[in-house]
Amino acid sequence: MATREFSLSFEVAPPASVRPSQPFTLPVTVLVRPIGTPSQSVHALVLNASLRNEAGTGAATGLTGSLTTSVCDSAMSGSAKFTSLAISTPGKYRLRVMLATASPNGIVTKEFVDSGIITVA
């Protein structure tokens, strides 16, 4: 991730607290905006959600639901929704959403955003 080409932000962030294995009330929605002009011929923006520890420094397990989605827009901007997300194990976590671009040259990770702390109890 040498230079930033995209900006990510939560339009609908994960809740601050949830019950184990109960889907989030609202879909998590992430806004994607270009910063300048992407350097390659980008055909699609692919986003993936993963679970991190409370500090955001390591991977965690237990996240279920729709973990991958895309934004297909000629302007390379828009929003992406993650539905039916749930965390099975009690604890404190962060949700990380990573953005990758798909082009004729392959798939490249471009950016990520972490949520605030989610308490599962």
pLDDT tens-place string over residues 8-53: 999 999 999 999 999 999 999 999 988 876 655 667 788 999 999 9
H-type alpha helices, the chain = none
Contact 37, 85 (CB under 8 A): no
* Other beta carbons less than 10 A from residue 70's beta carbon: 15
- Take residue 116 and report the two structure tokens written for it: 């605030």
Residue 1 confidence (pLDDT): 43
Task: Judge whether 1 lies within some domain.
Answer: no
Between 80 and 96, name the one with better pLDDT. Answer: 96
* Polymer length of the chain: 121
Task: Judge whether 76 lies within some domain.
Answer: yes
Domain range spanning residue 70? Answer: 6-120
Backbone conformation region of residue 70, classed left if phi is above 0, alpha if psi is from -120 to 50, else beta = beta
- The CATH number of the domain holding residue 16 is 2.60.40.3960
Give pTM, 2 decimals: 0.89
Task: Judge whether 87 lies within some domain.
Answer: yes
Tell whether the model's pLDDT for residue 82 goes beyond 80.
yes
Sign of the torsion angle spanned by Cα atoms 74, 77, 79, 82? positive
Encode pLDDT of 44-79 as tens digits. 788 999 999 999 999 999 999 999 998 855 567 788
> How many domains, in total, are found in the chain?
1
Average pLDDT, the chain: 89
Task: Judge whether 19 lies within some domain.
Answer: yes
Pairing of strands 118-120, 17-18: parallel
